Amino acid sequence: MPEENNLEKMRHSCAHVVAAAIKELYPNAKFGVGPVVENGFFYDVDLDTPLSDADLKNIQKKAEYLVKQNIAFEREDLPIDEAIKFFESINQTYKVSLLRDLKEKGTTKMTEEELQDVGGSIGTVSLYKTGNFTDLCRGPHIESTKEIGAFKLTKIAGAYWRGDINNPQLQRIYGLCFETKEQLAEYLNMLAEAEKRDHRKLGQELELFTFSDLVGPGLPLFTEKGTTIRRVLEDFVWSLMKPFGYSRVWIPHIAKSDLYKTSGHWDKFSDDIFHVSSRKTDQEFVMKPMNCPHHTQIFASRARSYKDMPIRLSEVTTVYRDENTGQLQGLSRVRSITQDDAHVFCRLDQVKQEVGSIWSIIKDFYKAFGMPLSIYLSLRDDTHKEKYLGTDEVWNKAEDSLRNFLKAQNLEFVEEKGEAAFYGPKIDFRAKDAIGRYWQLATVQLDFNLPERFQLEYIDQNGEKQRPVMLHRAILGSVERFMGVLIEHYAGAFPVWLAPVQVHFISVSEKHIDGSRELLTEFDKLGIRVSIDEANETVGKKIRNASKQKIPYTIVVGDKELAGEDWQIRVFGQEEQISMSKENFVKRVKEENSERKA
């Protein structure tokens, strides 16, 4: 996508201009990394003084001035030792640290943000000069600053150098960058709408989840209402999976470290694993960071025949990741991650059919939420093969299998190098929400590597041992993150089938309480989720309280309603009430429940 590549170069170049502006305003500034991120960029900087919103405006003005000067981006390639000497001479200690790390350890342990910064190879790196400012960067960049479109610095945050709490904390300056002022304005409007829909705020107001300092950061607690939504989502996914022959399994939440050393996760994710100690054994245990290694052991628990295949194992279970505290964010980034996980063990000739079944489940699931999907084929980065398990032959076979499936289905997709899992390529599905944001949620991943590492086998029709192919799939991904997405997608006003409370009864007075309770019991037996407000308050206040909770249907229960006359039903989001008999109303709610209307 040439336009996207050009926009990425523009955003990267804008980050350099902002850094140049900071350097002019704060000559002693030391710079960390300044990568492109979605819709813009950030730059980490070490300053003698904390920045304020007023300082951010001054940096913006200085950067705008530099853009108008039409300054060229000039590249220079240097041997790594010369680059180290140069950055030492200008007291850029963080750049020196990155270069020394590159020289001694290579790129294996570097993050994508750091790789954007260092670029090059162990022997040579590239520098870019923008006027009086020189930065370490792999590029590429636009020709000159006048090609930068509309940009805006948005906020300041704290970030530990290289994500390590033991390192200095830098100031992270975020910015947006688009090709036109109109695009920037449109995105800012979307951000304003997103702020209104923030799931962290709405989740508290709607009493869906909470956090506790005693429990710990990144460990959400779900209330009765929040748990109801979780169960509805889990049941929905299962209803779509069951017809395709999936079976439910259960695995423990801890395992010996040997399991993840065998799978390869230990080396790749060692910094993110919670370790468990025991006074009764000298074995090393961990909280499980993923489920696939456990599921391989269920497959390996007995002899398998080609007639048994495919074997589809499903589970909704929680994994644990030791995320940095500064990266935690509501339900979007947590330390306890509930996955609607499934793994399919199949023959090579069954891959196409199984991927097709998963695609069918994904389509039907997101249709219920009115969320269109974009498809991405995530491939290995051929320039950094050391980051992945398996041979070229295995990777080529796996990538071709998924590519051929998408082409056979006549599906539009974009190939993205470097986005594959470390064990195999994948098809990622990005869902578009109500205000135009895209979320990476569903995925299907093809894996030849874990079956090889765990020596998984089945007996083919000739009586010979064969390796199965392993498919990893997620429909909604993390339950926590998906709930955060849904809260913002619906702005907390869930459709009837998903709402934790579908019908709310308000008793007019004390004499109507018993009748309201009878209705509550009747609706509950019909499988409709109900609540009642029998407080000694005005009907108006009770109606306002129900509206704040965004309950789909509210019914004021008085003499006429209890006498069998038509009900006057308040529908959330509508000014006009609807008039309907109790029987027809029950039919309507049950239909909306079963049809799962978006």
Q: Which residue positions form the known binding site for Zn(2+)?
A: 292, 343, 472
Report phi then psi at 23, rounded to 5.
-65, -35
DSSP string covering 275-305, please? EE--SS----EEE-S-SHHHHHHHHTTS--B
- Residue 188: enclosing H or E segment and its boundaries? helix 181-196
Bridge partners for 494 per DSSP: none
Locate the DSSP E strands across 47-98.
73-79
CB 173 within 8 A of CB 62: no
- Assigned token pair, 10: 């523009």
How many whole angstroms separate alpha carbon 383 and alpha carbon 175?
29
- CB distance 317 to 339 below 8 Å: yes
Look up residue 581 and give its two tokens: 């008999």
Calpha distance 309→573 (Å, rounded): 50
Alpha-carbon torsion angle 69, 72, 73, 76, nearest 10: -140
Name the pairing type of β-strands 503-507 and 465-466.
Answer: unpaired
Cα-based distances in Å from 314 to 18, 248, 306, 342, 347: 48, 5, 20, 4, 18
Residues identified as active-site: 292, 321, 339, 341, 343, 426, 472
**Crossing angle of the two packed helices 351-367 and 224-241, in degrees rounded to 10:** 140
Cα 399 from chain centroid?
23
Residue 509 CA to its chain's centroid (Å):
47
Cα 86–88–94 angle (5° rounding)?
Answer: 110
